[in-house]
């Protein structure tokens, strides 16, 4: 009897010790995701020497080679064209400068841009695939998309999106040393700032068969975590996302889960191919699309914690199959992109707001919103006679306006409707 009792006590004790060892091993493994590596990659990509990595420039090509060199170091197979890491596509700059140029039939100023693709072969025999992506281009000297009044100033894009690119490289290194059963395709896109051009080109011309893709995980602006908060878009694109994300949150991060499957980043291109998507994001800030988006503001330790969450999500996906991750159309209105041809108000959107209207978290110095009296926390519900239901209708309304005009903007502030005249 005493021997049996001893065994009865010993077995659960061994199981407990085994469980603790497994948890400690997992924690030790996750520590391989390094904030120092994150900072190093961002510092290179967002240096002045890279001149803002504008699509189709020599600096963009240098950034593409930098990514490919690390893919090679991490033993990822070339997954681009002709057994290289690169997939080339053409950007017509004349049409970007003047959308009506296409009507003239002019060939215009064309540039060659590159996506960078590396495939990590899984240890299993499944044909399923997980795609991890980030764009590496930015605004160059600010000719396209800048919110700054300064001319010809380098926009280094440390958060947007050297941070996402650094995350892509860090996850490629992590999984090359902790190889999953499922194949992982790492994609670095160019042309995102000009309208998701690289990712749209990729989904129409995939270099790796996407038929058995479990999910696409996108990282864009993940370097400015504040108060342990991060936003994850696309949660409604499969019913499995919410429990997966919650279970992976062993660091007690403040997760803001957003259902939308689309938005102004590359996951949108994959959503429209009926692939479940996630978009990791640490929110916008006053340096967005300005020369001040620089390395000094990066929270590398916060980004490392975000990447550990992504890694745990990928590990959970590795144990699942396509039937468990059935694609679902996200609720509400979904848009192919959030491009804007009209004037800007100079506001910082609250992307996590799911109420009626368009809430802002702040205003830009010298912008129309600041000059007109708008404040962070205001919810824009009307621009002129146009009702504003969400960020999409906000963008659509601005496309109807002309620079140099004055328009009444109605906001809700502390439960009261107020009207401000904004000079655009």
Query: Residue 310's pLDDT band (boundaries 50, 70, 90)?
Result: very high
Check if the beta carbon of residue 283 is closer than 8 Å to that of residue 224: yes
pLDDT at 22: 45
pLDDT exceeding 90 applies to what percent of the chain? 69
Cα–Cα distance, 75 to 292 (Å, whole number)? 35
Q: pLDDT by residue (tens digit) across 170-182?
A: 999 999 999 999 9
pLDDT at 271: 96
> Which 3-state string (H, E, C) describes 78-142?
ECCCCCCCEEEEEEEHHHHHCCCHHHHCCCCCEEEEEEEEEEECCCCCCCCEEEEEEECCECCCC
pLDDT at 95: 59
The token pair at 272 is 């429209």
Cα–Cα distance, 415 to 393 (Å, whole number)? 21
pLDDT at 147: 80
Q: Is the pLDDT of residue 16 over 60?
A: no
Q: Is the pLDDT of residue 12 over 60?
A: no
pLDDT exceeding 70 applies to what percent of the chain? 87
Strand (E) or helix (H) holding 188: strand 183-189
Q: What is the mean pLDDT of the chain?
A: 88
- Angle between helix axes 300-318 and 2-30 (nearest 10 degrees) is 120
Cα–Cα distance, 357 to 409 (Å, whole number)? 12
What CATH number is given for 347-423 in this structure? 2.30.42.10
Q: What is the pTM of this model?
A: 0.83
In this prediction, residues 389-409 reach a mean pLDDT of 87
Q: pLDDT by residue (tens digit) across 100-115?
A: 444 444 556 789 999 9
- Classified as helix, coil or strand, 70 is helix
The residue ranges of every structural domain in the chain are: 29-325, 347-423
Q: Is the pLDDT of residue 257 over 80?
A: yes
Q: pLDDT by residue (tens digit) across 191-225?
A: 999 889 999 999 999 999 999 999 999 999 999 99
Nearest by Cα to 51 from 140, 118, 149: 140
In this prediction, residues 134-155 reach a mean pLDDT of 89
Cα–Cα distance, 92 to 125 (Å, whole number)? 41
More confident residue, 393 or 24: 393
More confident residue, 24 or 284: 284
Query: Residue 145's pLDDT band (boundaries 50, 70, 90)?
Result: confident
378 Cβ contact partners less than 8 Å away, ≥ 6 residues apart: 359, 360, 411, 412, 413
pLDDT at 96: 61
More confident residue, 423 or 97: 423
- Classified as helix, coil or strand, 339 is coil
- Classified as helix, coil or strand, 224 is coil
Please report the sign of the dihedral spanned by the C-alpha atoms of residue 389, residue 390, residue 396, residue 400. Answer: positive
pLDDT at 336: 54
Query: Residue 395's pLDDT band (boundaries 50, 70, 90)?
Result: confident
Complete DSSP assignment for 307-321: HHHHHHHHHHHHT--
pLDDT at 333: 67
Cα–Cα distance, 145 to 137 (Å, whole number)? 12
Q: Which class does domain 29-325 fall in?
A: alpha beta
């Amino acid at each position: 009897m005493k021997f049996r009792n001893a065994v009865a006590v010993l077995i659960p004790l061994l199981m407990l010790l085994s469980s603790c060892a497994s948890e400690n091993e997992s924690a030790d493994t996750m520590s391989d995701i390094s904030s120092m590596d994150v900072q190093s990659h961002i510092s290179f990509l967002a240096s002045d020497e890279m001149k803002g990595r504008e699509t189709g420039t020599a600096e963009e090509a240098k950034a593409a080679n930098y990514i490919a060199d690390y893919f090679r170091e991490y033993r990822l197979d070339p997954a681009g064209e002709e057994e290289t890491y690169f997939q080339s596509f053409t950007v017509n700059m004349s049409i970007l400068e003047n959308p009506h140029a296409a009507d003239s039939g002019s060939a215009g100023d064309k540039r060659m841009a590159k996506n960078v693709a590396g495939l990590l072969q899984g240890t299993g025999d499944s044909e399923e695939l997980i795609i991890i992506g980030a764009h590496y281009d930015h605004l160059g000297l600010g000719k396209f998309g800048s919110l700054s009044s300064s001319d010809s100033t380098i926009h280094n894009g440390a958060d947007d999106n050297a941070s996402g690119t650094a995350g892509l490289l860090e996850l490629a290194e992590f999984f090359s040393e902790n190889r999953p059963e499922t194949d992982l395709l790492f994609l670095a896109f160019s042309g995102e700032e000009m309208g998701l051009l690289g990712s749209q080109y990729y989904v129409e011309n995939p270099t790796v068969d996407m038929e058995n893709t479990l999910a696409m995980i996108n990282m864009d602006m993940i370097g400015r975590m504040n108060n342990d908060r991060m936003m994850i878009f696309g949660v409604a694109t499969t019913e499995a996302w919410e429990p997966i994300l919650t279970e992976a949150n062993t660091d007690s991060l403040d997760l803001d889960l957003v259902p939308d499957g689309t938005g102004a980043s590359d996951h949108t291109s994959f959503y429209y191919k009926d692939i479940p998507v996630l978009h990791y994001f640490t929110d916008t800030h006053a340096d967005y699309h300005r020369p001040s988006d620089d390395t000094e503001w990066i929270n590398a330790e916060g980004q490392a914690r975000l990447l550990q969450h992504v890694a745990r999500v990928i590990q959970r996906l590795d144990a699942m199959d396509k039937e468990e991750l059935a694609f679902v159309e996200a609720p509400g209105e979904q848009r192919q992109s959030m491009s804007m041809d009209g004037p800007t108000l100079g506001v910082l959107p609250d992307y996590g707001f799911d109420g009626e209207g368009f809430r802002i978290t702040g205003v830009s110095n010298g912008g129309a919103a600041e000059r007109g009296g708008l404040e962070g926390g205001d919810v824009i519900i009307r621009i002129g006679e146009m009702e504003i239901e969400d960020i999409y209708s906000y963008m659509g309304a601005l496309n109807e306006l002309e620079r140099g005009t004055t328009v009444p903007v109605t906001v809700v502030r502390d439960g009261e409707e107020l009207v401000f005249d904004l000079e655009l």
